[in-house]
Amino acid sequence: MIPMKTLNDGNQLPALGFGTYKLNGEDGIRSIVSALEAGYRLLDTALNYENEKEVGEAIRRSGIPREEIFVTTKLPGRHHGFDETLLSFEESRMNLGLDYVDLYLIHWPLPRIDKYVETFKAMITLREEGLARSVGVSNFTEEHLKRVIDEIGVTPAVNQIELHPRFPQGAMREFHARHDIVTESWSPLARGNEVRDEPVVTAIAEKHAVTPTQVVLRWHVQLGAIPIPKSSTPERQRENFDVFGFELSQDEIASVSSLESARLWGGDPETNEEF
Ligand code: NAP
């Protein structure tokens, strides 16, 4: 069984999840079903991935009871605003074909538009109505989080941020820990090959008789972050899920963190705008 983590609202979610970006159409449904068969119980989608219907269909096809699966989706930039958020949520919920969503996130803060505070107020309304069991944000900086907490008095349950050995996010993780916000890591494998090819990572993998990708995912778990790796391949899905049978030493965690260089593609939350 996969370990669970508890959110600041008391709800629980698995310590590792499955990313679904780019999993579209019939092939996408098949990949998501195989991830569920491999044991994943946390699915991460977004209105902007244009695959919420596929995620809903995969859940139904898997035959796994809906309440055993933790479903996350996200509000796009074009729908920031109180009323817009309520409507956008309904669109996502209809796409998914679900009565409720487990976690609803603001996809990007878009500080230039400056509507993320009222947007989060609408998220809280959705939570109060039981339509979104937990509410959180994605790509928020300390400043954005502080404004939400100060102006609304509610702390988002989750902040899903870019986090991988090239960008370990030490300061954000500390801030999250102080405020009881769970960190989720997007692009946990840094999307490409170069992290798992790093000699530091391959040496640790050899020592533990695991794969370099498993070392990277275990590093996330021991940092206390929830990685949501994506893979279209059943074998890789199983490999990525199997990271709870070994433990890295503090030195090994530090060596993986020493691979820090920069964000993958410049997704700076202060300036990146996705609508
Ligand atoms: P990722 O999970 O870091 O990497 C995915 C890539 O790694 C794919 O090309 C996959 O190829 C490959 N891969 C996976 N497991 C592998 C293995 N064991 N060995 C070799 N290659 C492997 O990147 P991501 O999809 O960008 O991020 C994961 C999820 O985070 C997304 O799907 C999405 O749900 C979320 N996300 C959120 C945001 C946000 O703004 N909130 C931004 C980006 C991503 P194959 O599929 O061919 O196996």
The verdict on the CB of residue 19 being under 6 Å from ligand 1 is yes
Q: What is the CA radius of gyration of the chain?
A: 18
The verdict on the CB of residue 176 being under 6 Å from ligand 1 is no
Distance 185 CA to ligand 1 centre (A): 10
Residue to mutate (ligand 1; options 186, 193, 272; most atoms within 8 A of CB) = 186
Nearest protein Cα to ligand 1, atom 42 = 186
Q: Is 100 annotated in the active site?
A: no
The verdict on the CB of residue 132 being under 6 Å from ligand 1 is no
**Residue 143: φ, ψ to 5°:** -65, -45
Nearest protein Cα to ligand 1, atom 7 = 191
Nearest protein Cα to ligand 1, atom 4 = 191
The angle formed by the CA atoms of residues 26, 29 and 32, to the nearest 5 degrees, is 150
Residue pair 106/92 in contact (Cβ under 8 Å)? The answer is no
Nearest protein Cα to ligand 1, atom 36 = 186
The verdict on the CB of residue 18 being under 6 Å from ligand 1 is no
Q: What pLDDT is stored for residue 193 in this prediction?
A: 67
Q: What is the DSSP letter of 235?
A: H
Give CA–CA dist 55/149, Å, rounded: 31
DSSP string across 121-171: HHHHHHHHTTSEEEEEEES--HHHHHHHHHHHS---SEEEEE-BTTB--HH
Instruction: Kindly report the pTM of this predicted structure.
Output: 0.98
Q: What pLDDT is stored for residue 192 in this prediction?
A: 73
Per-residue pLDDT of the chain (275 residues; tens, 9 = 90+): 799 999 999 999 999 999 999 999 999 999 999 999 999 999 999 999 999 999 999 999 999 999 999 999 999 999 999 999 999 999 999 999 999 999 999 999 999 999 999 999 999 999 999 999 999 999 999 999 999 999 999 999 999 999 999 999 999 999 999 999 999 999 999 987 689 999 999 999 999 999 999 999 999 999 999 999 999 999 999 999 999 999 999 999 999 999 999 999 889 999 999 99
